[in-house]
Amino acid sequence: MEKKIIGKAYVLGDNIDTDQIIPAEHLVYSTSDPEELKKYGHFALSSVPIEKAGLPEGGKPFIQGDDYHSEYSIVIGGSNFGCGSSREHAPLALQVAGVKVVIAESYARIFYRNSVDGGFVIPYECQSKVNDKIRTGDVIEVDVDKNEITNHENGSVYKLNPLGDVFQIVEAGGLFEYARTTGMI
């Protein structure tokens, strides 16, 4: 996994719950079948109400048409991102859709842990509210070594809380893989 991630941002509001990240009716697909796994990417963020998304007027869907991979590799959220049920499929759906990093003001603990434990996406917490400063479609650079994001549209730089071992765990593919590669198990 790269330590500098550059991509388009998809901006959301506060209290985005796991049912908005991947609606419950789409949890019927097998995660071990590659064709069915793509459905998780296709339906990722498919039920976020426009009023909760920091989207331009008219809204822009996270996934276009029948695709399962989004043009947005960075999700910017507000406070309490990933609240709701303890569904492990939420960070998985974002990963399948091509998301590498989620940056939020704060997380529901279960979403944060599922993101890390499964090695799905890097869950960064920003030191200030940014979902009102960054717009959907802005090109963002996340620098893991510096713990900061740069908005390439206007040059703004925002500090992120340090990850600790989180990057290495996500990079390894999850907690168990990390434990194996570091000799813990």
Chain segment 125-138, per-residue pLDDT in tens: 999 999 999 999 99
Residue 47: predicted pLDDT:
79
Selected residue with higher pLDDT from 55 and 115? 115
Residue 185: predicted pLDDT:
85
Q: What percent of the chain has pLDDT over 70?
A: 94
Q: Looking at the 3D structure of the chain, how many domains does it have? A: 1
Q: Return the H-helix or E-strand segment holding 118.
A: none
Q: How many angstroms separate the Cα of 7 from the Cα of each of 20, 75, 76, 147?
A: 22, 10, 12, 16
CATH of the domain at 113: 3.20.19.10
Domain extent, residue 58, equals: 4-181
